[in-house]
Amino acid sequence: MVGYDPKADGRNNSKFEVAAAGSVSGLVTRALISPLDVIKIRFQLQIERLSPNDPNAKYHGILQAARQILQEEGPKAFWKGHVPAQILSTGYGAVQFLSFEMLTELVHRANVYNSHEFSVHFVCGGLSACMATLTVHPVDVLRTRFAAQGEPRVRSYNGLLDCAKQVLQEEGALGFFKGLSPSLLKAAVSTGFIFFWYELFCNIFHCMKKADRLR
């Protein structure tokens, strides 16, 4: 069960265990999806149509883009920006799951609502996603710029510190928070609904099993 469970009778995981589980889940997931993330960013940065009929289009399909990147830049290109991406994923996972656990526990101890009500999971899920997004957004900016390397319109960086230095010098501290508002909105709504539907369907399945046992 995700979140604080008042019926667990002391069997809830510790805050450290929740944060560690969230970090590891983010780490493994990021390592697996990094190649697709790189291709996605290349597609987003390409001005030309994603079509083989456009002679100026460098990429026009997932498999074609994967082959092109592999031939031109080697297999390491699929993990460009992987270090900041891993910092992003592990940090995001830790903050999100830990804050969700703490928020649902707070609701339970305040005796305001049942911590497993759908609305509680929606609000707590959205708030936990906002906390996680705000925490790791500067790293997300660096990760995006790293992954975008290879496109002629995007400058190259010699490393994570060099990227951070250039952003700070040319754009100031606010450069690390570009796109924060839509990121917060997206995180709040999408994650809130994920936890909402998760809890809803868990309750539906529980009721179905209970009904079967009573037959």
Q: Would you state the pLDDT for residue 152?
A: 56
Mapped onto helix, strand or coil, the DSSP state of residue 46 is: coil
pLDDT, tens digit, 9 for 90 and up, residues 109-128 = 887 666 667 788 888 889 99
pLDDT computed for residue 115 by the predictor:
61
Please identify every stretch of the chain with a pLDDT value under 50, giving residue numbers as ranges.
none
The residues spanned by each domain of the chain are 15-214
Give the single-character DSSP code of 158. S
Q: What CATH code is assigned to 15-214? A: 1.50.40.10
Tell me the three state secondary structure of residue 3: coil
pTM of the model: 0.64
